[in-house]
Structure formats: structure tokens, C-alpha cells
Structure 1
């Protein structure tokens, strides 16, 4: 019979790697909690129209990468390709705006049909943050500072903050017209994807990975020259507040992000240790998205971190391993094995991390397995110990062993 394999673009995360995920999740949780952000959990699939309206039908995500299907009720549904649209839908549907400013975060799987490679899968995972209901530049800098704190706490190095403003919708349209006018004479020299984007989404040409297209784009107009008075003042304040917090940044007028909902501040945090896929965090302001999805006016800003890419960096920076048990419990004989199960469960309820050997093999083999776990002590129970109401305590590093009564064992473990 043919063996069933995981679907291409998905992968199993095994226990020796899960420790990195748990470390990442706990680090992010601690920092987000200190900043008073609350976790939100939204469905992994939504109505397709949510992403078409929110992300933009002209984007590559909607046009090429979404997992979309018809359910049994003839509704068109899509596995979420990103987290912001679902969070905003939940914000509107549950009338969260009535509670004032909302600081939300989420984590979970996202889905895009892309060519799988290191750090990029078709089912991938993100940690994301959304700050809704405030326009001030301080909000932009708060979310960037939190992202910076998380990455530093993880031990990441060689990071750079790439910063830009895409202005208001009006600013962006003026710049779009100027960019198209500049690019049209070079149309035949652009890569095929960029030629396709020239009419429907020309700003994406600026972050093309094609070297010839990049050379053409180097002399394109800068979006910073097309900012209106309000957008320019907002961006200047963002830059000043970052300076006040000693967060270095590089102005990058070619940074536009790939989704239509961005306005004003756009940013990415990149790692020089990741090669071509350098971005570990990306986000920006999306002041029109809430109203675009049927809610009232609510300015907002957010970001997302790709967890797979962060895990690649963590593995290089600080090797982690599965934690060792406090106690390895071996037993042999029917009475001893039954009693060991009861004792192990009681010890776990008392707060000890206990691994119970369930093989029933001879004591020598059980001791060898105990050594491999990294446990410091081993409890040994045979039928003779059960009859005498005693237990053996063995120190695995030295091999020293002593006999204790059942009344003594709990006190000895506490002393150890």
C-alpha cells in the first residue's frame, strides 16, 4: 500500500523543533502582555469576498495565491492568507470599537499557494499585532518598538528597520500615475510579472527581485516626493519618535508592501542572516480598511512576523533541546508496574516532571533509557520493594543508590 505523505508545502513540526516554537511564542506573549495587547483568535477560513475587498483583487495574494473553495452551501470560502483582514472583520462584527482603542494580537497558520522553499511554506505561521482606533504617529512607533523588543529578546542580530510612507489614497494615486509614466518606456525591458503589474498594481514593481527590473526602478520617482502635507507631517513625527527611542532606521522609498490596504507608514524589519528572504517582520498603517469592510472610520496599524523564518534564525543562534525530566521512573513486575503508575501520576500532580518507563524490559535497559533522557535521578520499584513498602532512589550520574521507605521519598525529593 502506498504510504501517505504530507501535502507539498506543508510540513510536520516534530518535538525537537517544537521547543523553538514554544520559546518564540512565550517570548512574544510576555512582551505583548506587558504592552497590554490582548490575544484574539479568528477562524482559519472566511468568505472570499473579505480578502478580495480587504487585500485587493489586483494583488498577487488574491490573484494567484489564495486557497479558495466552494463549500456544501455553495459559498465561496478561502483559507486565510494573512491575519489582518480577519481581525478587522472580527473588530467590526463584534463592535469592539465601542471599547475604545483596541490592542490585539494573534498567532496561527496562514495559507498561500507559493513555491515552497526554506522559511516559506504553503501553510505557514505568523504572529501578528493590530492597533485599532488611533491615528497618532505614537501608535506607529509603539508597534515598531514592540516588534523590535521581541526580535531582540529572541537574540536576533544584524537587523535593519526599513521605513517608508505610501501616503494617503490621494497621494498614492498621484504617485501611481507618475510611476506608470516613468515605467512605460521601459515596458519591454521589465520582467514578465512586472509587465503584468504595470496597469493593475504598478507599485509592486518596485520590490521586484528581477535584477534588470531593479536597475530600471532605481531611477523611478520617489513616493516621498508625492506626500501631502498631512502625510509628510505624520511621517516626520514617526521618524523623530524612532530617533527618540534610539531605534535606527533606513529610509527606503521603494518599500511599498504587497497589499492594497496600506496607507502612510510602511515598514519591514530585515535580517542580514537570511539571504534573499530577509524580511522577518512587515507591516504598516491601514486607515481605510475598517470602513472599506463595512465598519466606521477607524485608523489602524499592524504587523506580522513569519514564524518559520524566525525559527531558522533561532536554530543558528541558540541551540535548544527538549527539557529533561526531573525523575525517570523504572519498574518491573506486575505489582510494581501498577504501583509505579500511581506514584508517577501523584508526583506529576505535585509538580515534578516524571517520565515513566512503560516497556517492562529488564532494569539494565530501563536505566540506559533513563540516562539518555538527561534525568538526574531514577526511582526504582520492583515487586520486592512493593512487598517491603520501600523504593530505590538511584543517582544516574554517579550510580549511587539508596533504599528509602515510602514515607521518606517525598521529603527526600523535596530536599533534592
Structure 2
């Protein structure tokens, strides 16, 4: 019985020589561009400890990583992104690195996502990270650089969609929502932008997750334990349960202490219904705003000011938008979209993505991740921001748009053929000399005669055949 063939893994691809050359040509062009901005190339390991990628991203990324336990019983993962390894590198070498530090990278990453197969398996990221700068100037530098990459790939008509998560935080602070509810609201921004029906659905889901409590007695009890330590809160809850007629016989097989502790966790993790609903409504009002920077920021300002929230984040975003409009690299390409949701558990402050009307989904994107250093063990907060593009996406779209995808790769231009085995040394010498002059030379290794060699060369796009005869003399034949 014959054995089943071994096939490629899902999401993994082979590259032909021509495809590899096109990809490498674009990659080299982009890394050269980034180098011109002062970003130093850094290569990080393909394999890292799994915890490195989970400290900030959490469960959202965990289900998409290629992870396993190595021979030393360490939980390790194939690199799903570059930002965390680069921050790890900085923290390990901070004594020798002067801030602000600029790094760039290009290489394979691995993610598994059945729901989005176009972004699954192995693909190549090209990007840059700026560590140690929190100014609007730093934001503007990174965004102008990010705008240069699709242009270098030959793309036009792309758009930079920009938002600032701190604007959401300003209104959620006023709403007085818990950290847990805040994370839920930010993660729900893509749904909240869809309108009132979506808002109702998100609100109901929040209650199902016990993020808010609609029972008045629970809200009163939550207010009663505010400011108390856990031991004091447990005593209040125990008294409430006894007053409410809930004695130990109604607990069934559960320990009364377990019931009290569970109730305490629920109350600590729940918001008052009014606070939660206010936070959701304000976030929904912001999430529906999209347009030219001036118009979108003016609309957002009305929401922020009507809520009585701080406008510092919005003022900063306005300054950034004005700076980008003054830069030729980004002028006319920026849209402010408060419904943008891009790895919100990862970012704070500005977030952005680059889109194109001929491509479904983003070409790339990034933002600020000022909290990452602390999550990775730093004793101080270190401001940082970065971006990444999927190289295969840029290349595919550039080739779809045709002629502006850079120089064509150099295919083999000369085929060296020997008349007999005795002349193989002459053929090798001829190939060596041609390669020394920069010409690509392919050696015939299956003993073609001249006619067969001409046919083969034509099929491969090779323009010339060099025939080495039994006397060691060379004859050049142009392929028609």
C-alpha cells in the first residue's frame, strides 16, 4: 500500500526564485528607506518565551500563536510580532542604548487564525519602533515614515486612518467605569460604531458578563462596601445575606464563606448600571465619528465637552493632525476615525492603520504602546510607538497595480553548455568568469545538445547560450 503524500502545512507557502527576488527587492527597498530616517536594523530570535507576547496582549493573541513546550520544559512560541521582542531587547540592553532609540526590522512572523486566513500562517512584517519619545513630533515622524512605505512600493490612493484611545479614556473617566468595564467597552468599539441597535446588543452582553448590575439592592450594597477593605466588605455582605433571609441552609453544599467571597468578587467587578450605560453611550457617540481631521475632531470635541471630560487628549490629536497636514508625506491622506479598533489591549494613545480602496483589510498600522515596558518588567514607564506592514500584502497590491512595483528581478541571462563531459572544466571556467562580471550564469547539468539547450533557454527566458566545444572554444548563441 502506497503512503499518503506529505503536504504543506496550512498557511505556509513555497516561494519560487522569481517570487523570492521580487519580495526581497521590495524588502531591501523598504529597509533602505527606513534606514534613511535613522532606524537601526535589529534581528530578534524567531523563537521566544510565550509569556513575552502575553504580558500585554493577553488572551486575544494567545489563541493565534504557534506555541509548544521545548525539550527543557519551557513554554515557547514562534514570533507572532516584533514589538515585544524589540522592547525586550531594549530593556535587556538599556544601559548601553541612548534614548530615543530607533529600531527597524523585517522578517517572518507566525499567526494562526481560521477566521482570517489571509492573515494566517507565516508572513513577513516590515516595520519600525521609536522608543523613549512621547512628543507629538515623535508621533508625526513615525506617521510620515509609515506613509512613505506604500509609496516606495509604488502604491497611490492609500489612506491613513487615525484615532486616539486617550480620548475614549477621558470620557470613561467621567463615567467612572471600572477597569474591567473599560477594557470591555474599548474592545467593543467596532460594534459600537454601528449605531443604536449595536449599542443595545453590546450593553446586554455587558450585563451577561456581570459588568453591570441592574438590581437596585446590589447597587446599594456595592455602594456600601466602597472604600472598605475585603475583610470589612465580607462582614457587610454577611450581614446583608442574613438580613435578606439567606441563611446557610440555602447555600446547599457550598460553604457560606465561599458564597460571600463570590458575592464580593461580583460586586467588586461590577459597575453601577448607570455608570456602565453612560460609558457605553459616550463611547458609542465617539465611535461613530469619522471624517476629515478638522471636522471629526470638532465633532468629538462636542461629545467630550458635553460629558465634562478633559480635552487634553483631543487637543494633542488636533496638534498632530495639523502637523501631518503640513507634511507633504501625509497631506491629504489622513482620516480621523474614532471607530478604529486595532489591538486595543496592546495600544494606548494614538492608533492608526493604512488602507487602500483596492485591498480588503489594512496594509499595515500601529500606534503607541507606552505601557508595554512596565508589562515586561521595567521599573519605569517608557513611552514608545511603532508600526508594521505585511510585506506580502504590499507586494501583491503593487503587482496588481502593475508597472510601479519596482525593477523586475534578474533571471538567468546566460546558459553554459559543454559539448562533452571532458569540457566540463571549460564550462565551469566560463560560468565563473561571467559571474565575476556580474552576469547571472546557469550551468547545463543534464547534457543538452545545442538545439536542446536553445529550446530549454527559450522556455526559461534565458537570452544567450554559451557553447563550449571539445577544443575548449566558446561560441555565443542568441536565443530568439
TM range (shorter): 0.7 to 0.9
1:266 aligns with 2:249: no
Q: Which of 1 and 2 has greater Rg?
A: 2
- Structure 1: stretches of 5+ with no match in the other structure: 181-196, 398-416
Deviations, residues 246-267 of structure 1 (Å, cap 9, x unaligned): 4221110111311423121111
2:99 equivalent in structure 1: 100
Cα gap change, 1:213 to 1:318, in 2 (>3 Å)? farther
Cα gap change, 1:168 to 1:261, in 2 (>3 Å)? farther
Q: Is the 8 A contact 2:48 2:76 kept in 1?
A: yes
1:23 aligns with 2:25: yes
1:44 equivalent in structure 2: 46
1:201 aligns with 2:286: no
Deviation, 1:175, is 7.8
Cα gap change, 1:83 to 1:177, in 2 (>3 Å)? farther
1:280 aligns with 2:367: no
What's the TM-score, normalizing by structure 1? Answer: 0.80
Aligned runs of 1:183-332 on 2, under 5 Å? Answer: 201-208=184-191, 216=199, 220-222=284-286, 225=303, 228-246=310-328, 247=330, 248=332, 249-275=334-360, 278-295=361-378, 296-318=380-402, 322-332=409-419
Aligned runs of 1:46-195 on 2, under 5 Å? Answer: 46-55=48-57, 57=58, 59-62=59-62, 64-95=63-94, 98-115=97-114, 119-167=118-166, 171=170, 174=173
Deviation, 1:322, is 4.5
Deviation, 1:81, is 1.9
What's the TM-score, normalizing by structure 2? Answer: 0.70
Deviation, 1:214, is 8.5
- Correspondent of 1:9 among 8, 11, 16: 11
- Correspondent of 2:479 among 368, 374, 396: 396
Cα gap change, 1:112 to 1:118, in 2 (>3 Å)? closer
Question: Comparing 84-93 with 136-145, which one deviates more in the overlay?
Answer: 136-145
1:403 equivalent in structure 2: none
- Structure 2: stretches of 5+ with no match in the other structure: 203-279, 288-299
Separation of aligned partners in 2, 1:242 and 1:345? 52
Cα gap change, 1:67 to 1:395, in 2 (>3 Å)? closer
Across the aligned residues of Structure 1 and Structure 2, the Cα RMSD in angstroms comes to 3.0
